[in-house]
Structure 1
Amino acid sequence: MPCGKQKKTRKYATMKRMLSLRDQRLKEKDRLKPKKKEKKDPSALKEREVPQHPSCLFFQYNTQLGPPYHILVDTNFINFSIKAKLDLVQSMMDCLYAKCIPCITDCVMAEIEKLGQKYRVALRIAKDPRFERLPCTHKGTYADDCLVQRVTQHKCYIVATVDRDLKRRIRKIPGVPIMYISNHRYNIERMPDDYGAPRF
């Protein structure tokens, strides 16, 4: 007997059996004929929803920002700060010339804890008493969504991240500055000119 897979003959032109709309097993409401879709009028004006910007962002100027600055920190930012040998709180103050309170959400904390033994230094920094802990009420632990949702609702935060995708998402939200690392120091983008944040 030849070894190997046995060839199966394919059945051609087989159709899935479907219940007819007049079948006895169907309920009365299901037996009705499907409604035809209404054709859209090409000359009609298309409506498009544009998100309403909050009134505190008059001329793109966020009045809720001000010292002491509350800075939302993500996992990558802590890791890259360790690599660049930067003290988080001190470097933030050097960048903004004002008191800074780093904030860490439950999602970011969970993300660092999941990374395990390799990131124990990051975890120790995140548990620093100078960090403000923000509880999360939503389901799931995806930190990027959590941060985006938080800055959309409350415009009083600066987001500290080096993640390109997260930066792209934050840039779409008006009035939220981004702190990032470049040349072994913290820089800030989209900060109002009235504040003493240096431009590089």
Structure 2
Amino acid sequence: MGIAKRTRKFAQTKRVIGQRDARLKKNQVAADAADAKKQRDDVVREVPQVASNLFFQYNTALVPPYNVLVDTVGHLHIFPVRIEANQRQNFLSHTVQRKLELLPAMMDCLYAKCTPIITSCVMAELEKLGQKYRIALRIARDERWERLECDHKGVYADDCIVDRVQKHKVYIVATNDRDLKRRIRKIPGVPIMSVARGKYVIERLPDAPEK
């Protein structure tokens, strides 16, 4: 008679509920509290008011003659050692280097009458740049351009321009500063003018002719 095979029997352990199991009462209470907090956070406390002149992304307030806010070099008072790197971002310096006339070049770009506008913050930044930007400063001081006096604190041109176009969407911003362009693009209905390929180009202007 053969020997019967014996199977090894393993001890059966008692199954224990893990501390992170959702069936535990303390975990259910914590999950309910998290859901309630998420619902409170999702509630919109204040909805920013949309400008009445905006029809989706179309700004009906932009009509000839166009008001063009001219920018200068950005971030110079934060990084004074990088003036040479920031020189390529100067709208007026690009205008001088490309031998462009400010007002005729704007009118060639927009096919309409334009009014260049220089704020006191832009003028203050240009005056700080010294002799290297004396030609750009001479252009900005032209009596034909409109001057806007700033009533806010500080003379940082980027914040000044962004604040103006947020309050009054009747301007075109002329700048070659990449950081300022990034901030302006977040504001609907504000076109950007820049110097490229030896002429002025415009972006985000409705029905703008292709250049």
Pair in the same fold by TM > 0.5: yes
Q: CA deviation at 1:135?
A: 0.4
Percent of residue pairs identical: 65
1:187 to 178, 186, 201: 201
Alignment-derived partner of residue 210 in structure 2: 199
Alignment-derived partner of residue 101 in structure 1: 115
Letter in 2 for 1:47: V
Q: CA deviation at 1:52?
A: 2.4
Any gaps of 5 or more consecutive residues in structure 1? 1-38
- 1:133-153 Cα deviation digits (max 9, x unpaired): 000000100000000000001
Aligned residue pairs: how many? Answer: 159
| 2:133 is equivalent to residue 119 of structure 1 | yes
Any gaps of 5 or more consecutive residues in structure 2? 1-32, 73-89
Letter in 2 for 1:53: V
Q: Give runs of aligned pairs for residues 118-157 of structure 1, distance below 5 A.
A: 118-157=132-171
Contact 1:101 1:132 in 2 (8 A): yes
Alignment-derived partner of residue 21 in structure 1: none
| 2:91 is equivalent to residue 77 of structure 1 | yes
| 2:180 is equivalent to residue 166 of structure 1 | yes
- 1:34-78 Cα deviation digits (max 9, x unpaired): xxxxx7624525124442211210122111111111100011211
- Distance in 2 between residues matched to 1:89 and 1:56, nearest whole Å: 26
Root-mean-square deviation (CA, aligned residues, Å) is 1.4
Contact 1:188 1:199 in 2 (8 A): no
Please state whether the residue corresponding to 2:39 is helix, strand or coil. Answer: coil
| 2:71 is equivalent to residue 57 of structure 1 | no
Alignment-derived partner of residue 175 in structure 1: 189
User: Which structure has the bigger radius of gyration?
Assistant: 2
Q: Give runs of aligned pairs for residues 14-93 of structure 1, distance below 5 A.
A: 41-42=36-37, 44-45=39-40, 46-48=42-44, 49-75=46-72, 76-93=90-107
Please state whether the residue corresponding to 1:44 is helix, strand or coil. Answer: helix
Structure 1 moving runs of 4+ over 6 Å: none
- Distance in 1 between residues matched to 2:159 and 2:38, nearest whole Å: 38
Alignment-derived partner of residue 11 in structure 1: none
Please state whether the residue corresponding to 2:160 is helix, strand or coil. Answer: helix
